[in-house]
């Protein structure tokens, strides 16, 4: 029990320090300001339409949250591990009775907490604007917003994984590729499954099936119109995120165990 409490305290301490470091980073506020401006622009754009103003603000607001949380997850996550090795602070921390697995999970939880704060601020602003235009919040729309935070954590886990054995710039580019492909997995699968598709192109179909499918976090028109979610959708999406995040962060810690600074 004492060992568990000691490990938890170490994990919490690393997460807290990581959270404070990112919060003090001016780059974070630039991303946040840009997102607020984007939400403001979406509000002005909604005033130019005569019907569905609340749907316009909701869709564009989701895009602002998606962009802000995604950029923070990828760029902060990619630079975080490299920065620790450049400053050699990681070796000071690991000189204590803290494993690299604890270190990497603490870093991840700290970044996830920053993403949550960012999400709360932006989502709260969007909800207020949405309600001011006569929109009606329901469970579907809230889930659509919450899944953007889950997607950001998903991307952060991939960034940690790639950053554990490559440079920050390479890991960022790889995760951007994951994001672009992951949001188009279903479209790629449909294209490659068409009868007129060449055999060479069809050979990539199994590879597409192995790619992470970010469509699980994108509700699309279901969120726009506030339609009822399919049964079990939330649990399946949550389980899908955890089934990727936990192994990726765990693998990152194990890779760092073998890495020499």
Residue 15 included in any domain: yes
User: How far apart, in whole angstroms, are the C-alpha atoms of residue 226 and residue 243?
Assistant: 27
| Percent of the chain's residues with pLDDT above 90 | 31
Asked whether residue 260 carries a pLDDT value surpassing 70, the answer given is no
- Tell me whether residue 1 is in a domain: no
DSSP three-state, residue 223 = helix
244 located within any domain: yes
| Residue 202 located in a structural domain | yes
| 117 in a structural domain | yes
46 occurs within a structural domain: yes
Number of compact structural domains in the chain: 1
pTM to 2 decimal places: 0.88
Residue 62's nearest CA partner among 179, 143, 175 is 143
Contact present, 76 and 171 (Cβ < 8 Å): no
Whether the per-residue pLDDT at 60 is higher than 60: the answer is yes
pLDDT digits (tens, 9 = 90+) for 184-234: 888 777 777 777 777 777 777 777 778 899 989 998 888 888 889 988 899
Taking phi over 0 as left and psi of -120 to 50 as alpha, with beta for the rest, 73 belongs to alpha
Quote the pLDDT of residue 86: 65
> Are 122 and 42 within 8 A, CB to CB?
no
Identify whether 2 is part of a domain. no
Summarised one tens digit per residue, pLDDT across range 141-175 is: 999 999 999 999 999 999 999 998 888 889 999 99
How does 74-106 read in b/e, with b if 16+ C-beta sit within 10 Å?
bbbbbbbbeebbeeeebeebbeeebebbbbbbb
In a domain, 158, yes or no: yes
Residue numbers of the domain that contains 240: 7-257
């Amino acid at each position: 029990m004492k060992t568990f409490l000691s490990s938890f305290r170490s994990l919490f301490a690393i997460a807290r320090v990581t959270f404070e470091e990112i919060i003090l980073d001016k780059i974070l506020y630039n991303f946040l300001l840009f997102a607020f401006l984007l939400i403001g622009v979406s509000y002005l754009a909604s005033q130019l339409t005569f019907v569905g103003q609340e749907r316009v603000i909701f869709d564009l607001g989701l895009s602002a949250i998606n962009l802000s949380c995604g950029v923070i997850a990828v760029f902060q996550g990619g630079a975080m591990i490299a920065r620790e090795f450049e400053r050699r602070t990681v070796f000071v921390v690991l000189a204590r009775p803290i494993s690299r697995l604890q270190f990497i999970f603490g870093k991840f939880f700290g970044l996830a907490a920053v993403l949550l704060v960012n999400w709360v601020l932006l989502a709260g602003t969007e909800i207020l604007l949405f309600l001011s235009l006569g929109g009606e919040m329901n469970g579907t729309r809230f889930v659509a917003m919450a899944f953007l935070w889950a997607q950001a954590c998903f991307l952060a886990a991939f960034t940690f994984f790639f950053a554990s054995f490559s440079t920050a710039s390479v890991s960022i580019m790889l995760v951007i590729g994951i994001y672009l492909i992951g949001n188009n997995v279903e479209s790629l699968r449909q294209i490659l499954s068409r009868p007129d598709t060449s055999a060479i192109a069809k050979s990539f179909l199994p590879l597409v099936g192995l790619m992470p499918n970010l469509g699980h976090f994108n509700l699309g028109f279901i969120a726009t119109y506030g339609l009822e979610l399919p049964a079990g959708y939330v649990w399946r999406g949550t389980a899908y995120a955890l089934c990727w995040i936990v192994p990726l962060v765990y693998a990152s810690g194990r890779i760092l165990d073998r890495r020499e600074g």
